[in-house]
Amino acid sequence: MGTRRSWVKGPWPRKLALAARPRGGDWLEDEVVDWRRSGVDAILSLLTPGEERDFGLEQEGPQAKAQATEFTSFPIADRQVPVWRRERPNCWTGSTRSSRRGRTVIHCRQGVGRSGLVAACLPVARRLDSQTVVETVTKARGVTDPETEEQRRWIDRYAATLTSSK
């Protein structure tokens, strides 16, 4: 039994799941194999380098690659937001598989705040309504997501920036 994934249903080609971090250390390979067997072909980790060390996840990228799974690290501090950029972060839209059908797992420490923020921003980048997307992410995870008001405001700011750049 691996880490629980909460799949976000929505009108986008790629399936998105939020998850707590995989078990690290001796369990890491089993976790990545389990995710791959369930059809996951991309992992987006939001852990900081310190969290990766603390949880024994320094080898998550190589383990993913060994399973033919795309791995991207986009560190965001716990309960925080990404550094503001007017342009979209490459890991959200520039992924080699981002426009294809497939399954992506987005994870942080517990799969709530940071994961919810990024999971909401991916469909928002496709010009979907941020309020609707946040409600969809919250329903999938079963808890209010994202976790903080600052994270929620960041999603709205991101959506507004996309609207103003049309």
* Structural domain spans, the chain: 5-76+88-161
What CATH number was assigned to the domain covering residues 5-76+88-161? Answer: 3.90.190.10
Band of residue 162 on the pLDDT scale cut at 50, 70, 90 = confident
pTM score of the predicted model: 0.89
User: DSSP letters of the chain?
Assistant: ----EEEEP-SSSEEEEEEEPPP-GGGHHHHHHHHHHTT--EEEE---HHHHHHTT-TTHHHHHHHTT-EEEE----TT--PPP-SSPPHHHH--TTTTSSEEEEEEESSSSHHHHHHHHHHHHTTT--HHHHHHHHHHHHTS-SSSSHHHHHHHHHHHHHHHHT-
Given this model, what pLDDT does residue 11 score? 74
